[in-house]
Amino acid sequence: MEHLLSQKIDDNFYYIGVNDRITHKFEGMWPIPNGVAYNSYLVKGKANILIDSVKLNRITVFLERLYDALEGEDLDYIIIDHIEPDHSSGLTTIMDNYPNTKIVCNKRTLPFLKNYYNIEDNIIVVKDKETITLGDKRYTFYTTPMVHWPESMVCYDEDDKILFSQDIFGGFGTLDGAIFDDQIDFDSQYLDETRRYYINIVGKYSKQALAALNKLSHLDIKMICPDHGPIWRKDPSKILNLYTSLAKQETVDGVLIVYGSMYGNTEQMAELVAQGVVEGGIGVVKVSDITKVDMSYILSDTWKYKGVILGSCSYDNNIFPPMGYLLSDLSHQKMKNNIWGAFGSFSWSGGAVKRLKGFLEEEKLNYIETIPEIQGAANPKEAEELKELGREVARRILKASEEK
């Protein structure tokens, strides 16, 4: 039978995921202008096994694809690697259509099943590193707690060497016809959105992500099937290496300057700092306006560039509120590999520099101790101080690069 809706990956193995071009912000916070894919997989044989499901807003399309792949057969098992609702909110609808289905999950998933969906029966609970046989397939389960939920785990097909990795190795962006890494130009189509996905969703759990990567390092992986983004069948090592690099927060020798300005003076100061960075020998400089660039992209860039310089005007004896929001998010990221700088401005009372310095100290970051604080517009002497801040950040980046 020709399958018109599901996509065949291999013999008796189907992709039945769906694209979401409707949702504007992932988790209600992160912009997804290119949408996102909710990947789901069906393995057929002596038992028909569904691996992860989809968000409720796409359940109708999903059920059509599942029905198409099953060809009238029943569904025997649903493996839940990750219970977050973008992969499970369609679960009760699936169970209504296939009531004989048994759920396979780990014990930390049980309270989520009860609290979200009132499901307590027909559940097979697996342990960390346990191998079970479902039909004619052998699966080993590895728990990966806090990557990025407490119940997260991955599922490894012992016979076909396929890793079903839930959110690990995922990325933003719909799958537009092509679902495999060898069908796309990953670097131009998905790299930036994979990086942004990692930093926004997983970044704060990088310690746990590294532990999970180490835990899986002994596996012979021929294919990686994540819950978002392309399937890796040609070169799984590419996404493995990218995620390892991101988890280690390996940076490039460049500088991100983020500023908050109400009337343009702080913006001009950011321009002077940028000139100093270039004079110091670093040509890769990105300047972002905190009021125009979404926090999601700024967080991604702070993870990418070795140097990060924050500049803010003062507002009601405090920092400019959008910059304050950024500091709050940055404090959750636990970044330790950057070189930081800061500058601030005020009209009649300060506040910005005090808050910036407090953030740098509280987070125990590697920062330039000289923090220019300027009233009004920068005069020639102050302009030189701002340039020197940029030069010093550049010098430290180059020195760190030489010491590698």
Q: Residue 340 and residue 337: Cα distance in Å, rounded?
A: 10
**What string of pLDDT tens digits covers the 404 residues of the chain?**
455 678 999 989 999 999 999 999 999 999 999 999 999 999 999 999 999 999 999 999 999 999 999 999 999 999 999 999 999 999 999 999 999 999 999 999 999 999 999 999 999 999 999 999 999 999 999 999 999 999 999 999 999 999 999 999 999 999 999 999 999 999 999 999 999 999 999 999 999 999 999 999 999 999 999 999 999 999 999 999 999 999 999 999 999 999 999 999 999 999 999 999 999 999 999 999 999 999 999 999 999 999 999 999 999 989 999 999 999 999 988 888 999 999 999 998 889 999 999 999 999 999 999 999 999 999 999 999 999 999 999 999 999 998 87
Q: 142, 161, 180: which is closest to 221 by C-alpha?
A: 161
Q: Residue 215 and residue 290: Cα distance in Å, rounded?
A: 38
Strand pairing category for 30-31 and 36-38: unpaired
Specify the DSSP class assigned to residue 191. H
pLDDT score, position 144: 97
**Cβ atoms within 10 Å, residue 107:** 13
Distance between first and last Cα of the chain: 57
The 10 Å CB-count burial string (b at 16+, else e) for 356-367 is bbebbeebebeb
The continuous run of DSSP H or E covering 140 comes out as strand 137-143
Structure tokens that stand for 216 in this block: 């899986």
pLDDT score, position 4: 60
Strand pairing category for 252-260 and 305-315: parallel
* Residue 69 contacts residue 336 (beta carbons within 8 Å): no
The continuous run of DSSP H or E covering 243 comes out as helix 236-247
Q: Which amino acid is at 93?
A: T
Q: Residue 7 and residue 16: Cα distance in Å, rounded?
A: 7
Q: Residue 103 and residue 201: Cα distance in Å, rounded?
A: 26
The distance from CA 151 to its chain's CA centroid, rounded to whole angstroms, is 18
* Residue 47 contacts residue 137 (beta carbons within 8 Å): yes
3-state DSSP assignment of residue 292: coil
pLDDT score, position 3: 59
Q: Residue 64 and residue 61: Cα distance in Å, rounded?
A: 5
